[in-house]
Structure 1
């Protein structure tokens, strides 16, 4: 089992650089292809948002400003891509799928297109084994990370959320959060290539985290059918926060990958009241593989 195609929605930020490093580490494990996609804002999308009462000249000025800002952002993304790829070895730049397929070893490509980022990324992710996305910026509310949530809710694919800083490894020691839900089952199934590759696997569970569904022993038996031996570990919430307890248990294990289901409760409830998914997205310092 292997991941062969990874999609990376690339941003020209420090978080984007860490995500590119995370994707390249992952690609090397399976000689996979990483397609970096930058989605530029289409200035024509601004006009319907301008509302009534604005003159044609004002709308044109807004569109021109959007076009300039989009071009500057695209330039930063391209500069980051060239700088990072120029400094790494062992990765072949491929200008087409045919070139990538004929190349031994990991490959990399870049594309910049115009459109609505959340729509384009969610739709294109369906053609890849996994999407790798940057960590939400420290000064950005995770609820506004449209591309991340679009992949989770509308791609049918797992998403690997990169940490804020580039990791040194991905998937050598893995923690899987289990609560009996369809989401956690989907995440573990999607992580099977990682789990086969890992040197150690631990299943994390807690009474406060468990939903209606199979116990941790059930998923442990499932993994044995795939020749994966996993130990189980009961974790405790920290100050009544399940998400903090989950991250603490993963850190104690020395995990370089956390695998979990996303939004077992509704996203709206978690955005208003908080929740395990939101806490992990905002506070994780390791790569996190999520499925919805």
Structure 2
């Protein structure tokens, strides 16, 4: 089992470029294909504002401005992709047959118009994993429509790239365990990484544990898969469970952290904070999440 198809919602930012590096690094490990997709804003989505008391001329002006801005953004994304392809030893492929002949990591790119959260969530159901850029510094992570759409509406794992391209990925893997269905799904999705890793550590905490099997149960599960892991208890840092989890992963020199996302509803998590939110905002390593 491996990750043969990877979807990357590409942005023209530094975080988007780091995500592209991370996706291609992952593809080289698994000899897989990365499909980069950029979703342009459809200016027609502005039309419903006509019911908000705006005149036809104002609506047309807003649609034209939206079209220009969307086109500029698409041009930046296309330019980033082209620079990456020109500067790297990568193979372009548009079909499974072409990718198979290449016998290497392959890339493709498409730019489409529509609602990003809808298109990305639907498309990612046909991929083994999605890679998304880390939220830019100062950006509210709750506004990352693509990330949340994939987590909540695709049934697929998401790999959140760090702000800077990692030196390695998947050699030393930490898995967060708290007994929930989400953490079980994350470990199941990460099994290919765990089989390949040089060292695996399960991180748990009494402050993180929820109703469900304890850490001994997940260690037994992994042994059935011929995976040897050690369990280490971590402590919250300044009462922040997420900070304690990240600190424990850094102490292990992990280059991949796997965890479940949003054990509670998204609304509750956004209001109260939570481990998922803290990790998304502060992780400096690749993080694989599943819900």
TM over 0.5: yes
* Residues 19 and 162 in structure 2, CA contact (< 8 A), matched pair in contact too: yes
For residues 127-171 of structure 1, the C-alpha deviation after alignment (integer angstroms, 9 at most, x for no partner) is 000000000111210111111000000000000000011101111
For residues 153-200 of structure 1, the C-alpha deviation after alignment (integer angstroms, 9 at most, x for no partner) is 000000000001110111110000000000000000000111111100
Where do 1:30-69 residues align within 5 Å?
30-69=30-69
Q: Identify the residue that residue 204 of structure 1 maps to in structure 2.
A: 203
Q: Identify the residue that residue 239 of structure 1 maps to in structure 2.
A: 238
Instruction: Give the deviation of 1:100 after TM superposition.
Output: 1.8
Q: Identify the residue that residue 77 of structure 2 maps to in structure 1.
A: 77
Q: Which stretch has the larger CA shift, 101-110 or 29-38?
A: 101-110
For residues 24-60 of structure 1, the C-alpha deviation after alignment (integer angstroms, 9 at most, x for no partner) is 1100011000000000000001111354321111111
What is the alpha-carbon distance in structure 2 between the residues aligned to residue 46 and residue 164 of structure 1?
32
* Residues 11 and 38 in structure 2, CA contact (< 8 A), matched pair in contact too: yes
Is 1:86 aligned with 2:86?
yes
Q: Which stretch has the larger CA shift, 126-135 or 77-86?
A: 77-86
What is the alpha-carbon distance in structure 2 between the residues aligned to residue 177 and residue 49 of structure 1?
45
Find runs of 4+ consecutive structure 1 residues off by over 4 angstroms: none
Q: Identify the residue that residue 133 of structure 2 maps to in structure 1.
A: 134
- Taking structure 1 as the reference length, the TM-score comes to 0.98
What is the alpha-carbon distance in structure 2 between the residues aligned to residue 100 and residue 117 of structure 1?
26
Q: SS of 2:98's equivalent?
A: helix
Unaligned runs of 5+ in 2: none
Q: Identify the residue that residue 290 of structure 1 maps to in structure 2.
A: 289
Instruction: Give the deviation of 1:84 after TM superposition.
Output: 1.4
What is the alpha-carbon distance in structure 1 between the residues aligned to residue 212 and residue 15 of structure 2?
36
What is the alpha-carbon distance in structure 2 between the residues aligned to residue 211 and residue 13 of structure 1?
37
What is the alpha-carbon distance in structure 2 between the residues aligned to residue 284 and residue 234 of structure 1?
19
What is the alpha-carbon distance in structure 1 between the residues aligned to residue 271 and residue 145 of structure 2?
17
Unaligned runs of 5+ in 1: none
Where do 1:2-17 residues align within 5 Å?
2-17=2-17
What is the alpha-carbon distance in structure 2 between the residues aligned to residue 2 and residue 103 of structure 1?
17
- Taking structure 2 as the reference length, the TM-score comes to 0.98
Relative to structure 1, is the Cα distance of residues 50 and 145 closer, same or farther in structure 2, using a 3 angstrom cutoff? Answer: farther
Where do 1:159-198 residues align within 5 Å?
159-198=158-197
Is 1:18 aligned with 2:18?
yes
Is 1:121 aligned with 2:128?
no
What is the alpha-carbon distance in structure 1 between the residues aligned to residue 186 and residue 8 of structure 2?
19
What is the alpha-carbon distance in structure 2 between the residues aligned to residue 47 and residue 236 of structure 1?
51
What is the alpha-carbon distance in structure 2 between the residues aligned to residue 84 and residue 50 of structure 1?
41
Instruction: Give the deviation of 1:102 after TM superposition.
Output: 2.9
What is the alpha-carbon distance in structure 2 between the residues aligned to residue 116 and residue 158 of structure 1?
21
Q: SS of 1:229's equivalent?
A: coil
Alpha-carbon RMSD across the aligned residues, in angstroms, is 0.9
What is the alpha-carbon distance in structure 2 between the residues aligned to residue 175 and residue 97 of structure 1?
32
What is the alpha-carbon distance in structure 2 between the residues aligned to residue 121 and residue 61 of structure 1?
28
Q: SS of 2:156's equivalent?
A: coil
What is the alpha-carbon distance in structure 2 between the residues aligned to residue 98 and residue 79 of structure 1?
27
What is the alpha-carbon distance in structure 1 between the residues aligned to residue 50 and residue 249 of structure 2?
47
